[in-house]
Amino acid sequence: MTLSIVKSQTVYSLTQLQDDDQSKIEEKVDSSEKPIRQILGATVHLYNFAPKVNAIHKIRSFGSFTDMVVPDVDNESEVISSHVGDSTDEHSSESSGQVVPQKSLLDTLILAEWECKAEEGLFRYDVTACPTHTIEGSYGFIAQLNEGRASKKRPTEFCVDKVDQPFDECKFNFCKAMQKEVLFAFEESQYGRGGEFEEAFVVSGSPNLVVINVSPIEYGHVLLVPRVLDNLPQLVTPDTLLLALQFAQEANNPYFRIGYNSLGAYATINHLHFQAYYLSAAMPLERAKTTFVSKKKVGHSSIRIEKLVDYPVDGLVFESGGDPTDMANLIGGLCQRLAVKNIPHNMLIVDRGARVFLVPNYFSQRKARNELPQDVLDSQVDPAVFEISGHMLMKRKEDYDMLDEDWVLKLLKCASVSEDVFDEVLDLCLL
């Protein structure tokens, strides 16, 4: 880890230290109970990343559930184990059993701050007590019983038939969340150095904030909210996607996945945000077979484009070891075109940003047309990015107990688009 010298205030007396400490405590108490819309001038933690984006350093993808040793390709000696991934029967394990390797300063910061918020009682339920098991079958779907998310998650406040909707400050947005839910700001360094932590950063402008998800799906579940005070709607652009890729790169952890849901694909808040959490098991989407579509030259990078094969939903896979800016320009531009065409979509960022999955999702449209099987409707499971990826969040114990691979395939196929729509998505990608 790079060490750097940070200029500190000169201290002349112990009284000065006591006065400063007391003022910081009072300021923290006062500001933590205020909404984020009043965060200007408040003090938060800060993580700085380097302004010059390096080429993506690939972390080996998961190959199978039997290969749960997933070292960085440059460090073959590191051994990682999991209680979740090596269970293939119907007996449940709990989320707290997983081992999360810490690989970076950002990784350590996320987990430490998340644990602090848990101790403060800011979550609506204890996600580490949620039973989890791997479903028998060739796909290795992961099931979790999360009754708290069903009963305590904030309801959707907008129509689900349009991807592009204007920001509405009257509806819930992250400016209404409390400052005590903020973990830290995630900002580009002004001094050309990256991987630095600042304890007390005075907020100015419109910060990129990392906040807790008060209705978590998994351990370490956080939200990345770009330029929170700019009131951006839930639409991906190249610059905001680049921030998410930089977040993945700085975390440097194969168990850390970042997801995105557009409106119409089960985003529940129309305020731009990415979700991220740790899961020490391979997501089935990551292990899905693919076939080559094209190799596209973008900027200085050559980006490989593939499509999913023998997976219950159709989707695209982008892979690059080049400049993340080029990856963001290609995929972010595609997301903008999908929004114009009103095609809902989900995105999963894995392998430290080296691979991105993009899946069009028509589940809500079929639901609106009353085309879904009754048992799928009764389950109340609406597949967003993590369900699409194979991490099934069940809201009722009876469904969790009876869950099998055939039912998961049935659910996910309800989200897959028609061949004509997927061909349109391919055309939009290759423009």
How would you classify residue 296: left for phi > 0, otherwise alpha for psi between -120 and 50, otherwise beta? beta
In angstroms, the CA 334 to CA 358 distance is 10
Residue given tokens 């010298």 in the structure block: 5
Spot the catalytic one: 273, 300, 345, 391: 273
Answer whether 281's CB lies under 8 Å from 69's CB.
no
Asked if 83 is an active-site residue, the reply is no
CB-CB contact of 137 with 102 (8 Å): no
| 3-state DSSP of the chain | CCCCCCCCCCCCCHHHHHHHHHHHHHHHHHHHCCEHHHCCCCEEEEEEECCCCCCCCCCCCCCCCCCCCCCCCCCCCCCCCCCCCCCCCCCCEEHHHCCCCCCCHHHHHHHHHHHHHHHCCCCCCCHHHCEEEECCCCCCCEEEECHHHHHHCCCCCCCCCCCCCCCCCCCCCCCCCEHHHEEEEEEECCCCCCCEEEEEEECCCCCCEEEECCCCCCCCCEEEECCHHHCCCCCCCHHHHHHHHHHHHHHCCCCEEEEEECCCCCCCCCCCCEEEEECCCCCHHHHCEEEEEEEEEECCEEEEEEEEECCCCCCEEEECCCCHHHHHHHHHHHHHHHHHCCCCEEEEEEHHHCEEEEEECCHHHHHHCCCCCHHHHHHCCCCCHHHHCCEEEECCHHHHHHCCHHHHHHHHHCCCCCHHHHHHHHHHHCC
Helix (H) or strand (E) holding 211: strand 209-212
Residue 137 has, within 13 A of its CA and on its CB side, a CA count of 17
Residues classed as catalytic: 273
